[in-house]
Amino acid sequence: MPLRSNFRHFLDRFGALGSLLCAVHCAVLPMLLAAAPALGLSFWLSGEVEAVIVVFVTLLGLFSLIFGYRRHRAMQALALLVPGLLLLWAGLLHAELHHSLIPHTIVMTLGGMLVGFAHLVNLRLNQGHVHDASCVH
């Protein structure tokens, strides 16, 4: 049982760190656009890399938070995850939004922050979970 618990904590920490780094990436991206070619970073700013990151964040977030929900039965983390993922996917797939620099940056940054905070809330809920007679896990 401790291995599963450690794995859950790792997933939430990894997910929170990755999502918050994604939010920072989205917030700093406009400033890096001018310097990217000179620094050899153009590949990392491509739409394909962004799509891979959004898919990865989605799978990690859903796996980690649904796994956590089965343990603590609290909706707070999922209530942050779902709008965060919707913002990320809207920023990725909505053509007009995707090609507007400032709105795209705001939507992707906010989405990444919500997903990151969802992982932190899930981590806190998992740590605060007490195994007692009413616990099924």
Cα separation of the two ends of the chain: 10
- What pTM was estimated for this model as a whole? 0.69
Tokens of 62: 């859903």
Alpha-helical (H) ranges within the chain are 2-33, 36-39, 47-72, 76-93, 95-98, 101-128
Angstrom distance (rounded) from CA 131 to CA 111: 33
Contacts of 110 (CB under 8 A, 6+ apart): 23, 84, 87
Tokens 């609290």 belong to which residue? Answer: 74
Looking at residue 29, what is its pLDDT? 64
* Span 3-40, pLDDT tens digits: 577 777 787 777 777 777 767 766 776 666 666 666 66
Angstrom distance (rounded) from CA 93 to CA 16: 23
* Span 30-81, pLDDT tens digits: 666 666 666 666 666 667 888 888 998 899 889 888 888 888 888 999 999 9
Please say whether the dihedral angle defined by the alpha carbons of residues 77, 82, 83 and 88, taken in this order, is positive or negative. Answer: positive
What value, to the nearest 5°, has the Cα angle with vertex 49 and ends 44 and 54? 130
